[in-house]
Amino acid sequence: MRISKANRLSEVKEYYFSRKLKEIREMELQGRNIINLGIGSPDLAPDKRIIDKLIEEGLKKENHAYQPYSGVPELRDAFSVFYKKYFHVNLKGNEILPLMGSKEGIMHISMAFLNAGDAVLVPNPGYPTYSAVSNLLGAKVITYDLLEDNNWYPDFEEIEKYDLSQVKIMWVNYPNMPTGTKATKELFQKLVDFGLKHHILIVNDNPYSFILNNEQLSILEADHAKDIALELNSLSKSHNMAGWRIGMLAGSSDYINAVLQAKSNMDSGIFKPLQMAAVDALSSDDSWYASLNEIYDERRRVVFQMLDILGFTYRTDQVGMFVWAKISEKYQSAEEFSDQLLNSGGVFITPGSIFGNNGSLYVRISLCADIQVLRAARNIISQFVEMTDPQNEDVMEAEILSKM
């Protein structure tokens, strides 16, 4: 006799990428060479001085003890200086909470403010974790549309037609993932004003601020933002430290203390050497971000070439470590295209449908692959397009596999 799962697990599915990686692994075990352009995990290393700092701090025996739940003062101070320099936001130490990555923060924020039956506004398309965490906590998910015709921004007039009486949190994510759309100061002010009007906590998830983006913006710059808004940020993308799990939450001390109340019951602080290395990472000068973006810009140009070969459409002003593109009329859905390319060509590209039905005609391509890998994928896609011509359909798979 087996112990049954909690009922809440029926409200969430296994994470899409978890399932897809298993499928890709099975294909590789069968001898297939798969190029994975789906996952947004940086393939580059942090600056060597950050790694050296981690080693230096790890050799100190006193650093292996439990750490403060609210992070060491040095890290909170470093985040404060960082936000002042790049986002023009003044943050006190008690307005900053270091986290084990932004994903952890999504859970802790939700636990701090949501009761079963409360409602949450979640973008469509949007990061699936917003919905998954809400469902796990018994909250009602209300999706709001992000559409290309509206620059992938919320349509506030449309949202105000919803029943907002039970809504406690609105998740926003700018620079946006998956669409790559940048925010504006005007958008952030509208979001803050909307939150104040309807008494809804606005949470901006902001980990893509520096990737292919020369203008850093924070929702906390808006007038009265600290009254109704929080912001998540992370070193995962900006400093190639995804596996280190260093993030932060910023906002008023009242909101931070509520999140800390939940968080302190779930962990015993972040390993101090990681925190001290993060302090050094946050002091990186502008040349670090410039050199990183030179690499991503070169990669993005190759991805644009892929999309041109496919006949897909895209915006050249998008930012972040992905490229978002609309599929051609040749395909009924992005999922159809993605499966066909994976099975026939051995290249995996994420279908936009995993981010919501408004992404069903779009794909997301990761820039987290070496330029040579991207060029190889481009060549395979060129062959794929040639062989998926209706006149060559019967020999498509055999031809592509023989040329890989």
Q: pLDDT (tens digit, 9 = 90+) per residue, 286-303?
A: 999 999 999 999 999 999
Q: What percent of the chain has pLDDT over 70?
A: 94
Q: What is the mean pLDDT of residues 382-398?
A: 68
Q: Which of 287, 284, 274, 288 is nearest to 75 (CA)?
A: 274
In the sheet where 350-351 sits, what is the strand order? 313-314, 322-326, 362-366, 350-351
pLDDT digits over 15-64, tens only?
666 777 788 888 889 888 999 999 889 999 999 999 999 999 999 999 99
Residue 401 confidence class, pLDDT cut points 50, 70, 90: low
Write the CB contacts of 351 (distance below 8 Å, at least 6 apart in sequence).
Answer: 333, 334, 335, 337, 338, 359, 360, 363
pLDDT band at 391 (very low <50, low <70, confident <90, very high): low
The letter for the amino acid at 110 is S
CATH 3.40.640.10 in the chain, residues? 61-284
Fold of 7-45+287-403: Aspartate Aminotransferase, domain 1 (3.90.1150)
Residue 265 contacts residue 277 (beta carbons within 8 Å): no
Neighbours of 142 (CB within 10 A): 18
Specify the pLDDT at position 347: 95
Whether residue 120 contacts residue 164, with contact meaning beta carbons closer than 8 Å, is answered with no
What is the per-residue pLDDT for 390?
Answer: 61
pLDDT at 387: 84
CB 140 within 8 A of CB 114: no
Residue 119 has pLDDT above 90, yes or no: yes
Report residue 237's pLDDT band, with 50, 70 and 90 as the boundaries: very high
Across the chain, mean pLDDT equals: 93
* Tens digits of residue pLDDT in 171-216: 999 999 999 999 999 999 999 999 999 999 999 999 999 999 999 9
Give the model's pLDDT for residue 7.
80
Does domain 61-284 fall under CATH 3.40.309.10? My reply is no
Give the rounded percent of residues in the chain with a pLDDT score beyond 90: 85
Of these ranges, 32-36, 267-271, 312-316, the one predicted with the greatest mean pLDDT is: 312-316
The answer to whether the peptide bond before residue 273 is cis (omega within 30 degrees of 0) is no
Burial class of residue 73 (count of CB atoms within 10 Å of its CB; 0-12, 13-18, 19+): exposed
The model's pLDDT over 251-263, given as tens digits with 9 standing for 90+, comes to: 999 999 999 999 9
**Does residue 92 register a pLDDT over 60?**
yes
pLDDT classification of 8: cutoffs 50, 70, 90: confident
Measured distance CA(60)–CA(57) in Å, rounded = 6
- Every domain range in the chain assigned CATH 3.90.1150.10: 7-45+287-403
Q: pLDDT digit string (tens) for 343-387?
A: 999 999 999 999 999 999 999 999 999 999 999 999 999 999 998
